Every structure is written in C-alpha cells, then in structure tokens.
C-alpha cells in the first residue's frame, strides 16, 4: 500500500506539470514576445511547438511502452521534460525557446502516453476506478487552473519561472519513481518505425489544417493539408491492419465499447475547450469583469471536479460507465446552456453555481470513461489504450480551440455566447454516445 501511494504520487507529479505546461504558455505569450523582441504571430510557436511534439509522439511512445516497459518510457519522459524545462528558462531567443519547447513536448508525451497504463499496473482491478479517478482529477484540474497558475506566477516572478519551477518537481518525481513505479509484461514484437513516421505526418498535418482553419489561413492551404493527411492516413491505417500490435490501436477500436468511449472523450474535451477559451472573453468583454474576478469565478469548475471525480471513480467500479457518463455529460450540457443564457447583469453567485454545475458534470463523466477505455483493452495493450486516451483528449482540445477562433471570426460580437451553445451541443452528443455504451457493456459482459 505505501508503494502504491508513492507510485500514484509520481504519476500525479508528472501528468500535472506536463498538462499545465500546455496551458500556461498561452497566458505568458505577450510577456515572452516582448522579452525576446518577437512578433505576436511568431511567438505562437512557443505554444504550437509543444502541442505538435506531444500530439505526433503520443501513440509511438505508448507503443514503445508496450515493448520496453511503461516505467522506462515514463522515467525517460520525465528526464527529457525536466532538462528541456531548464532549457526553456535559460532561452535567450525565440528559436532557442521553440526548440526547447519541442524537446519538452516529446518529454511530456513520454509522460502522458503511459500514465494511465501505469495506473492500471499500480491498482488491482477491483480498485481501478479509484486510481483512474485520481489521474482524471489531476488532468482535469491541471487543464482548468493552468491560466490561473500562470497569472499567479507572473504576478510575483518573471516568465522564466513558469518553466524553471518544473525542474525540482521533475527531479523529485524521477527519484521517487525509481523504486515506486511498477514494471509490466512486455510485447516481443518488433517496433514499427515506419508507422511512427506515418503517424507523425498524419497528426502533424491535421493539426496544421485545423489550426489554420481557426486562424484564417488560406482555404487552399487548409484543404491541401487536410487532403495530404487523409492520403497518408489511408496508407497508415492499412499498415496498422497487418500488425499484430499496431501503433494506432485499430484492433482496440474494433471493440464498440472502446470506440464509443474514445468518441465520448473527443466530444467532451472539445466542449470543455470551447467553454474554457470563450468564458474569459464573455466575462471580461461582455460582463465587464476584471481578470482577477474572471479567474475566481472560473475556479468552481475545477474545485468541484476534485470532489466529483473520486466519488465517480469509486462508483465506476460498481456501475455502468455509459450510465454515469451519460448523466455527467447531461449535467454538463445543462450547465453550459445556463452559462450561455446568463444575461447582461448576472450576480457572481449566478455565474459561480453554473460553473460548479459544469464541473460536477465533467467530474462525474471523466473517471468512468477513462476506466472503460483502459479496462476494455487487454492488459498487454494498456500502453496503446493509454496513448489513445491522451490522443483523444488532445484532439478534442485542439478542435475546440480552433472552433472558438473560427466562431469569433464569423460572429465577433456574440462569439463567446455562440461558442458556449456549440460547446453544449458537443456535450449533448457526447452524452448520447456515452449512453450507447449501456447496451454495449451488457453485450461485452455476456460475451
């Protein structure tokens, strides 16, 4: 039991800093651009370099974990992330910082790609939901409080400390993980390097296409990038169908329970990102609130997740994930609709309880959904399932951010409200998809 607690602490340390770093850089971009004498457009690469590196390497590293061990991939990711964080803090030019962010992104991918697979090794099957709930809670809270943490650090220190603070955390997690993290049974099939390269091209081109669509890139370029991604993706998927343990887990996606859970995850994280990006604009531009007030009024969402996720995780060991997820996402849908219809002069309490309702819905949904994704895969394929879980989250967040930019460009005056309605639609679709798993759970159990 003590070793289990230390192991889950290591996992929580790693995943929190890697998820936080994908959010905090947005807040610091104007400060970084001024310090490095870079334009606003070029400074975007501080964010894009990290996101691109994470997305293109999640599945290759999770597949590598199945073969050489999740502990090795996780610890290697921690080392790379920690060294790159120091490099970011010492960077004196934009190209140097962008390069350090790429390396940091590969390290973060090593952490994210196998973190839930490690949780499966740490907890026995009867308590898996409890372990998944802790992991889901850390991911959700880290995503939600990233801007607040960044604003707090920048109020008392320079932007370099946003990255330097990762160094002692990374060192502590690595040292504890040497003895605390468990091993796993490994695949003996050879690693598919060709698939890893194809995966990088497919996801890289898709990110450029979606990002370009949201930020006004010429339509011809967006279409060309999307077509190239589809063409390479066709050969990528065909290759995966011939592999015994494919890098893109098409074998797991044949399982309806796994596929529906992945679809639910993509839609729900798209809804979350749509709301997280649009709410500050609604509160500050439309309602006239300050940055501090905005941060405080958005806090109930992650705070309620801290309470709801562990309860939902315990329940997921006894109840249908489809039912719990459907209920949670229905609550999230209602919360988002209530936020969209706030009116022009709401009281702080009116905003706060709506944010808390959204947090409760998201917290109820996430732990059972993640548990189902992991438990519906064979134990020897936990790395592939973990990689798909992270890929689904990043795909949803990328799509959500791009949709906000697109909506703001089309309807600038009412963009935040429209984005919240679209977020509610995605949450409602996720609720329906999640509910379909109630029957699939029964079929799987009977099979």
- Which CATH number goes with the domain that contains 149? 1.20.1250.20
Q: DSSP labels for 107-160? A: HHHHHHHHHHHHHHHHS-GGGHHHHHHHHHHHHHHHHHHHHHHHHHHHHHS-TT
Q: CA 381 from chain center: how many Å?
A: 20
pLDDT at residue 81, rounded to an integer: 95
- Domain shared by 153 and 10, yes or no: yes
- Count the domains in the chain: 3
pLDDT at residue 131, rounded to an integer: 77
- Domain shared by 428 and 299, yes or no: yes
- Domain shared by 183 and 210, yes or no: no
- Domain shared by 27 and 162, yes or no: yes
Instruction: Please state, in angstroms and rounded to a whole number, the distance separating the CA atoms of residues 268 and 424.
Output: 9
Burial string for 246-281 (b: 16+ CB within 10 Å, else e) reads bbbbbbbbeebbbbbbbbbbbbbbbbbbbbbbbbbb
Q: Is the dihedral of CA 147, 151, 152, 158 positive or negative?
A: positive
pLDDT at residue 420, rounded to an integer: 93
Give me 235's structure tokens.
């050969």
Cβ burial, residue 179 (10 Å; 0-12/13-18/19+):
exposed
- Domain shared by 106 and 212, yes or no: no
- Domain shared by 253 and 374, yes or no: yes
C-beta neighbour count of 138 within 10 angstroms: 23
Instruction: Please state, in angstroms and rounded to a whole number, the distance separating the CA atoms of residues 302 and 140.
Output: 7
Contact 398, 51 (CB under 8 A): yes
Give me 14's structure tokens.
């790693």
pLDDT at residue 443, rounded to an integer: 44
Name the residue among 188, 189, 184, 187 with its Cα closest to residue 120.
184
- Domain shared by 310 and 177, yes or no: no
Q: Could you say which of 220, 242, 264 is where a domain stops? A: 242
pLDDT at residue 336, rounded to an integer: 94
Residue 30 makes CB contacts below 8 A (sequence gap 6+) with 40, 43
Give me 420's structure tokens.
């919240």
Give me 445's structure tokens.
């159990």
- Domain shared by 84 and 222, yes or no: no
Q: Which domain holds residue 235?
A: 193-242
Give me 138's structure tokens.
């850390």
- Domain shared by 138 and 204, yes or no: no
pLDDT at residue 445, rounded to an integer: 36
- Domain shared by 54 and 134, yes or no: yes
Instruction: Please state, in angstroms and rounded to a whole number, the distance separating the CA atoms of residues 61 and 119.
Output: 17
Q: How many CA atoms lie within 13 A of 292 on its CB side?
A: 2
Give me 205's structure tokens.
């081109």
pLDDT tens for the chain, 447 residues long, are 677 788 888 888 888 888 888 767 766 777 888 888 877 667 777 877 888 888 889 889 988 888 888 899 999 999 999 999 999 999 988 899 999 999 999 999 999 888 888 888 888 877 777 777 777 778 777 766 776 787 778 788 888 898 998 999 999 999 998 888 887 767 677 888 898 999 899 988 888 887 777 666 788 888 898 899 999 999 998 898 888 778 888 878 888 888 888 999 999 999 988 888 788 888 878 888 876 777 778 888 888 888 888 888 888 777 787 888 899 999 999 999 999 998 778 888 999 999 999 999 998 888 888 888 888 887 777 778 888 888 888 888 878 877 887 888 778 778 889 999 999 999 999 999 988 887 665 444 333
Residue 235 to residues 228, 240, 255, 279, Cα–Cα distance (Å): 11, 9, 22, 40
Q: Could you say which of 142, 173, 188 is where a domain stops? A: 188
Residue 248 has phi, psi (to 5 degrees) of -85, 115
- Domain shared by 101 and 128, yes or no: yes
DSSP class of residue 285 equals I
- Domain shared by 215 and 320, yes or no: no
Q: Could you say which of 142, 169, 188 is where a domain stops? A: 188
Q: DSSP labels for 247-270? A: SS-HHHHTSHHHHHHHHHHHHHHH
Name the residue among 216, 197, 333 with its Cα closest to residue 275.
333
Instruction: Please state, in angstroms and rounded to a whole number, the distance separating the CA atoms of residues 187 and 277.
Output: 41
Q: What is the CA radius of gyration of the chain?
A: 21
Give me 153's structure tokens.
């650090």
C-beta neighbour count of 195 within 10 angstroms: 19
């Amino acid at each position: 039991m003590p070793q289990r607690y230390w192991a889950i602490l290591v996992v929580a340390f790693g995943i929190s800093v890697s998820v936080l770093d994908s959010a905090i850089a947005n807040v610091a971009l104007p400060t970084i651009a001024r310090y490095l004498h870079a334009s606003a457009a070029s400074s975007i690469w501080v964010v894009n370099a990290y996101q691109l590196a994470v997305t293109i390497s999640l599945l290759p590293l999770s597949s590598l974990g199945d073969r050489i061990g999740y502990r090795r991939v996780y610890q290697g990711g921690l080392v790379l992330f920690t060294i790159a964080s120091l490099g970011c803090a010492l960077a004196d030019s934009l190209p140097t910082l962008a390069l350090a962010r790429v390396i940091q992104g590969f390290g973060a991918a090593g952490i994210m790609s196998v973190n839930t697979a490690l949780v499966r090794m740490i907890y026995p099957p009867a308590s898996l939901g409890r372990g998944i709930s802790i992991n889901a809670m850390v991911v959700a809270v880290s995503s939600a409080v990233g801007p607040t943490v960044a604003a707090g650090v920048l109020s008392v220190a320079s932007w370099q400390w946003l990255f330097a603070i990762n160094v002692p955390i990374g060192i502590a997690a690595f040292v504890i993980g040497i003895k605390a993290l468990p091993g796993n049974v490994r695949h003996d099939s050879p690693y598919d390097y060709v698939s890893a390269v194809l995966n990088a091209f497919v996801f890289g081109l898709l990110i450029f296409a979606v990002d370009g669509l949201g930020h006004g890139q010429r339509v011809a370029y967006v279409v060309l990038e999307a077509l190239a991604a589809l063409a390479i993706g066709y050969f990528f998927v065909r290759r995966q169908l011939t592999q015994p343990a494919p890098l893109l887990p098409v074998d797991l996606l044949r399982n309806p329970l796994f596929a529906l859970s992945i679809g639910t995850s993509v839609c729900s994280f798209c809804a979350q990102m749509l709301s997280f990006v649009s709410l500050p604009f609604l509160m500050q531009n439309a309602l006239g609130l300050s940055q501090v007030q905005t941060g405080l009024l958005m806090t109930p969402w992650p705070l309620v997740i801290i309470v709801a996720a562990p309860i939902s995780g315990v329940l997921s060991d006894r109840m249908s994930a489809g039912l719990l997820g459907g209920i949670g996402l229905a609550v999230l849908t209602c919360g988002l609709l209530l936020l969209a219809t706030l009116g022009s002069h709401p009281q702080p309490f009116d905003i706060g309880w709506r944010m808390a309702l959204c947090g409760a819905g998201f917290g109820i949904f996430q732990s059972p959904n993640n548990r189902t994704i992991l438990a519906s895969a064979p134990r020897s394929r936990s790395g592939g399932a973990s990689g798909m879980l992270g890929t689904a989250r990043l795909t949803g967040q990328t799509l959500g951010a791009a949709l906000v930019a697109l909506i703001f460009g089309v309807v600038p005056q009412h963009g935040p409200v429209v984005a919240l309605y679209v977020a509610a639609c995605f949450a409602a679709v996720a609720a329906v998809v999640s509910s379909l798993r109630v029957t699939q759970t029964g079929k799987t159990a009977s099979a």
